[in-house]
Amino acid sequence: MKILCDRTALCEALSPILPAIPTKEPPKPACKNLHMEAEGERLILEGTNLELAITSQIDSVKVESPGEVLVPARPFYSLLTEINDPTLELVLEDGNLLVPTGSGEYRIVVSDADFPEITFESEAKGIEIPVEILNRLFQSTEYACAKEASRYAMNGVLLRIREGKLTFVGTDGRRLAMASESLPEVPETLGAEALLPHTCLGSALRSITSLGGESATLFFGESYVCFSSGRTKVSVQMIRGTFPDFDSVIPQDMSNKVEIQKSLLESALRRVSVFCEDMDPAVRIEFDGTRAVFSSESSEVGSGNASVDVELSGGGGKIVFNPRFILDAVKTCHQDQVHFEFEDGNSPGKFLLGEQYVYVLMPITGKT
């Protein structure tokens, strides 16, 4: 392989691939590497951690002799960003990739590992979605995913297209976050669903966002979900497993409805959290008339209560929550007001954190 290409173009093509390159121990030694293939007038770049694969390409490359090569991705990128030459020559020679420049010559050891075969599914069924929406839906649901490896199907974010809406859902069995966005362009009859590992989905969106484009094309394949933008394609492997039946656990028509100012809610929770037991944080919230009183106590620190003005409709009542679970969600709320509904201390509480953003949280029961 021998090629001549524009250095900036190469850097820009390589940078969005980096989120797929494992920083720690790779699942396969080959995954540390960047795969480059030169043919015709193109250079195709690929990287993968087996669950996530990213590819990009540069056109108008002068290919003197075609071929492919596997080089350590991160070191190669570091080198490229430090070179000033506008045009680069890359030559495969005696098991090394030679990079001769005006101010020095570099030899990169080429790996002979087997690079995994990557297939990127066809774009035929693609849906155009603003990148900002993808990121917002992800941030509104990712925190609710299970972090323990033991709940496999719950480690994922569910993506669903139905009735002209894109919905993301995350749950760890104690709380559930569901955020949707209407997509006017999408026909109501189109339906698709996929469960994606939340870390890979995060990396995929970082890659797509780094391209700077306004929108990305999303398509659901057989076993992958692909995002593409410009010359870059990102493919995320689906999780096989049954996501819990989440529609049925979102409660409707609850007797207590509360409007509370977001900043006051956060501040009250943070203050009484000081008095929570480390292992089992719990804050009691009592709604009565026009007030919510937050209280907590621990044997080591003491006790505290904070009261906040609210608008309540309903008879009020008491409910105990893990305050971290409320704060996680409220942090991603972009409105000034939080709408909260609950039935009693033994049933789930429902937070409305946006027009199409619902968060359901189970209480702590049996606390004396």
Partner 1 sequence: MDAFFAAVEQKDDPSLRGRPVIVGGLGKRGVVATCSYEARVFGVHSAQPTAVARRLCPRGVFLPPRMRRYAEISARIRRVFEDFSPLVEPLSLDEAFLDLSGTERLFGPPQRAALALQEAVEEAVGLPLSIGAATSKFVAKVASDLRKPRGLVLVPPGSERSFLAPLPLSRLWGAGEATRTRMEELGLRRIGDLQDLGLEACVRHLGEVWGRRFHELSLGRDPRKVSPGRKAKSIGHETTFPENLAGREAQLAVLCRLCERVGRRLRKQGFTCGLLRLKLRFPPFVTRSRQIRLPEPLDEDRRLFDAAKRLFLEACPEPRPLRLLGVTAADLRSKETGRQASLFTRRRDEAGNRLSEALDRIRDRFGEDSISLGRTGRIEDLSEEEEPDGAVPPPA
**Residues of this chain that bind partner 1 (CB under 8 A):** 146, 148, 150-151, 171, 173-176, 244-245, 249, 277, 279-280, 282, 320, 322, 346, 348, 360, 362-368
Instruction: Give the nearest distance from C-beta 361 to partner 1 in angstroms.
Output: 9
Three-state secondary-structure class, residue 326? helix
- The kind and range of the H/E element at 293 are strand 291-298
Burial (CB count <10 Å: 0-12, 13-18, 19+), residue 170: buried
Widest distance between CA atoms in the chain:
81
Burial (CB count <10 Å: 0-12, 13-18, 19+), residue 50: middle
Instruction: Give the nearest distance from C-beta 359 to partner 1 in angstroms.
Output: 12
Q: Residues 181, 184, 189, 191: is their CA dihedral positive or negative?
A: negative
Residue whose CB is less far from partner 1, 252 or 368 = 368
56: nearest Cα among 16, 87, 23, 22: 16
Are 235 and 121 spatial neighbours (Cβ–Cβ below 8 Å)? yes
Residue whose CB is less far from partner 1, 120 or 246 = 246
Residue whose CB is less far from partner 1, 255 or 365 = 365
Residue whose CB is less far from partner 1, 192 or 250 = 250
Instruction: Give the nearest distance from C-beta 343 to partner 1 in angstroms.
Output: 13
Instruction: Give the nearest distance from C-beta 336 to partner 1 in angstroms.
Output: 28
Alpha helix segments (H runs only) across 222-287: 262-273
Instruction: Give the nearest distance from C-beta 298 to partner 1 in angstroms.
Output: 10
Instruction: Give the nearest distance from C-beta 115 to partner 1 in angstroms.
Output: 29
Instruction: Give the nearest distance from C-beta 360 to partner 1 in angstroms.
Output: 7
Contacts of residue 116, Cβ cutoff 8 Å, sequence gap at least 6: 28, 30, 31, 48, 50
Residue whose CB is less far from partner 1, 62 or 174 = 174
Residue whose CB is less far from partner 1, 227 or 294 = 294
Residue whose CB is less far from partner 1, 192 or 364 = 364
CA dist 215 and 169 (Å) reads 21
Q: What token pair was written down for 19?
A: 């989120």
Distance of CA 308 to the CA centre of its chain: 33
